[in-house]
Structure 1
Amino acid sequence: MLESLPHTDLKVEVQGVSMVVPLEETETRSMFLSNIDQAVNIYCGGIAFFSANPSFPPDLIAKKLEFGFRRLLTDHYDFLAGRLKWDPKQGRLEIDCNNLAGAGFLTASSRLSLEEIGDLDCPNPAFEQLAPQNWNQFWPGDQPLFIVQVTSFKCGGVSLAAVYNHITLDAVGCMIFLDHLASVLANSSDLPFPPVNNRYLLDARTPPRVTQKHVELIDIGRIAYASTPSIFISTTDNLLRKNLLLTAEDIKHLKRQAMVSPCMNENKPGSGVSTSFNVVAAHTWRCEFRKAVNGSIPGKHTSSVK
């Protein structure tokens, strides 16, 4: 059985809803979107929690975040205040960078404290109440590409949620945006690493030219999936929710192991690079596969691979 969650209702009440626009008028333009950009036209997001700080009450935090947000919309992220539109001549989506449209900004409050909510690291469906899911109730007929919600809690802590269309940013891009927002709030005059938002760099060549071998497109023939035993854990009704914390040092250790692997010594472009995602995914796969093929390990346990 899944572990019960301490709260399914976070008792959140929306206090303010607005469309924020750049601090200064920006150029009205159309922003090109590559095929890669357009491939994932969905909304995603994330939430960060902050404990109470007497020097920064929630009202002050919301005001500072709104100002910093508007400044970034002016300098480097004007497209986040735009809207998707269809270019009939090119037959593709693009972003209408119209500074009058704006990005979404919500403030809310919860009658619970962060301690009462419980584990903030464990995925909790109730956290959706801290991020706008149905903004049509706030802006009928309009669809902002980027929305920020600041929620204050009874204890004085706050949460910052960002909901965005994946066309505008991916997870890394959103993380960089939040880093830039922090820089602006720290009164930094210049961003430490200005973003490069020229999507023409990802434009497909016309006509298409295949200049290297793509191993991901190799035909490996038919696989009899029906006769292949699953390596995954049992069924969903027999699962427990657990978080396994990997520290920065753990991930560095996995990367060092990957570097000495025979697979990394082959003469391939980029074969000497292992991302954090790759090494964690590979380690998880090896643990689960080892459990599946080693009959001495009980089926309900996952072994680690040394």
Structure 2
Amino acid sequence: MAQLPTSLVFTIRRSEAELVAPAKATPREYKLLSDIDDQQSLRFQIPVIQFYRCNPCMQGKDPARVIKDALAQTLVFYYPLAGRLREGRNRKLAVDCTGEGALFIEAEADVKLEQFGDALQPPFPCFDELLYNVPGSEGMLNCPLLLIQVTRLKCGGFIFAIRLNHVLADGAGMIQFMSAMAEMSRGAIAPSIPPKWERHLLDARDPPRISFTHREYDEVEGTIILSENMVQRSFFFGPKEVSTLRKLLPHHLRKCSKFDILASCLWRCRTIAIKPDPDEEVRLLCVVNVRSKLNPPSPSGFYGNAIVFSAAITTARKLCQNPLGYAVELVKQAKESVTEEYVKSAADFMVIKGKRLHYTMVRSCVISDVTRVAFVDVDFGWGKAVYGGLAKAGIGAIPGALSFLVASKNKNGEAGTLMLICLTAPAMERFSKELDNMSKEQPADEMGKSVSISSTL
């Protein structure tokens, strides 16, 4: 049984999870991951959820059957996803293309889509029911790389949930695979964008040479706070909310990107919420898509991890006592530091250090912008998703570290951005208060100063 915030109670009946193999024979081979792919930072699962309305044009068609068949056909082209991860010398990862298949679950819920509420957004209290964690399936090695659950709803709509091992793909790669499945569901015989492995493009050079400091991987002394009492929340930023924050910036920064504003806002409010020592360093790690930064750019169809981390670093005191523009400057500098040479240096860094590294976890906040990853456009034949995107924040090795920006709409149909964040309950309350306080700050004057009524460290 699962219970929604509206006290709606419903039952889900699930079939046993089964392995769906490629519809045709596929090559049996070993395929090495890149030196960006197999870093420790990416060794976790990415969960995505999609909600679909009933479509009278699809009367008599079972979404679970349609999608299951499409999965088998798509795995012919994306056959590494039907294999299993193996670990070699120096923790180097490779896919053993065994063709064993991906996990698939068929389910049915006695609830209608409209009963989930006007504005679908994380957290979904019933998520563990909508994407069942099959025992033994969540490991890194020798486990299925992909898990899909399709849950039919009482109204004729359905929910599609998917979990993919991050070392195989980033957000852009994941949406490429999902879009290929959707094309197969609608009758295509091959994906419109043929998948390309090409992981060598993001391998270290020979010989490797580090040309940047890569402070995103600093070894920092301190305690990593682990808590099971974590709270998930989404905060909606429409044009009005973004405009209010933009007015807090000095005039020379007001044309900065929406990401710069929201990332800086999250970093500042979150730092106040977690109450670090004022003189300790705090970090915002931006996840940067580097496809266009490579020369030549990564080929169309590449679905591996074409991402690096870049670090904005300051003390908690400076971050929280300065206006928002201070954080925006740091975020812009961190993003602009990512060049093709930076990407190559990051891959070299992994190899020279002789271990698969994890980004700095002490007093770090990581933010990934997936607003341009068009999850809602994935159409299995029933039309676009009502909500499509990341299912929750806080995933990865450290609960609460990773936040997302996701494209969404509010209950009035206004397009905007959801900020998905995970914190302990007390810290979440303080975070929410600081966001509210920031909206009450006075606009910046010509000198770039603003009057803040928010609490500081």
Question: How has the CA–CA distance of structure 1 residues 16 and 157 changed in structure 2, closer, same or farther, with 3 Å as cutoff?
Answer: farther
Could you tell me which residue of structure 2 aligns to residue 103 of structure 1?
102
CA shift, 1:193, in A, is 3.1
CA shift, 1:19, in A, is 1.0
Could you tell me which residue of structure 2 aligns to residue 143 of structure 1?
143
Question: How has the CA–CA distance of structure 1 residues 285 and 84 changed in structure 2, closer, same or farther, with 3 Å as cutoff?
Answer: closer
Could you tell me which residue of structure 2 aligns to residue 232 of structure 1?
none
Q: Deviations over 1:132-163 (max 9, x none)?
A: 213449xxx97211011100111211000011
1:280 paired with 2:282, answer: no
Could you tell me which residue of structure 1 aligns to residue 172 of structure 2?
172
Q: Is the 8 A contact 2:64 2:152 kept in 1?
A: no
Q: 2:66 aligns with which of 61, 64, 76?
A: 64
Could you tell me which residue of structure 2 aligns to residue 243 of structure 1?
235
Structure whose residues are more often strand by fraction = 2
Q: Which has the larger radius of gyration?
A: 1
Q: 1:302 aligns with which of 429, 433, 437?
A: 437
Could you tell me which residue of structure 1 aligns to residue 84 of structure 2?
83
Could you tell me which residue of structure 2 aligns to residue 231 of structure 1?
none
Q: Which shows bigger deviation, 66-75 or 50-59?
A: 50-59
Counterpart of 2:438, as a letter, is S
- Could you tell me which runs of 5 or more consecutive residues in structure 1 were left unpaired when the two chains were aligned: 224-235, 265-271
Question: How has the CA–CA distance of structure 1 residues 142 and 286 changed in structure 2, closer, same or farther, with 3 Å as cutoff?
Answer: closer
CA shift, 1:240, in A, is 10
Counterpart of 1:41, as a letter, is R
CA shift, 1:293, in A, is 4.6
Q: C-alpha separation between the residues in 2 aligned to 1:252 and 1:184?
A: 41
TM score, norm. by length of structure 2: 0.49
Q: C-alpha separation between the residues in 2 aligned to 1:43 and 1:217?
A: 21
Q: Deviations over 1:35-58 (max 9, x none)?
A: 322222222211110111122258
Q: C-alpha separation between the residues in 1 aligned to 2:107 and 2:8?
A: 17
The 3-state SS of whatever aligns with 2:17 is strand
Q: C-alpha separation between the residues in 2 aligned to 1:214 and 1:74?
A: 42
* 1:106-185 equivalent positions in 2, closer than 5 A: 106-118=105-117, 119-136=119-136, 143-185=143-185
Q: C-alpha separation between the residues in 2 aligned to 1:280 and 1:185?
A: 36
Q: C-alpha separation between the residues in 1 aligned to 2:120 and 2:49?
A: 10
Question: How has the CA–CA distance of structure 1 residues 181 and 240 changed in structure 2, closer, same or farther, with 3 Å as cutoff?
Answer: closer
Could you tell me which residue of structure 1 aligns to residue 75 of structure 2?
73
The 3-state SS of whatever aligns with 2:36 is helix
Q: Deviations over 1:9-41 (max 9, x none)?
A: 642110353211111101001110123222222
Q: C-alpha separation between the residues in 2 aligned to 1:74 and 1:252?
A: 47
The 3-state SS of whatever aligns with 2:126 is helix
Q: C-alpha separation between the residues in 2 aligned to 1:16 and 1:42?
A: 24
The 3-state SS of whatever aligns with 1:13 is strand
Question: How has the CA–CA distance of structure 1 residues 182 and 277 changed in structure 2, closer, same or farther, with 3 Å as cutoff?
Answer: farther
Q: C-alpha separation between the residues in 2 aligned to 1:112 and 1:191?
A: 33
Q: Is the 8 A contact 1:45 1:164 kept in 2?
A: yes
Question: How has the CA–CA distance of structure 1 residues 152 and 263 changed in structure 2, closer, same or farther, with 3 Å as cutoff?
Answer: closer
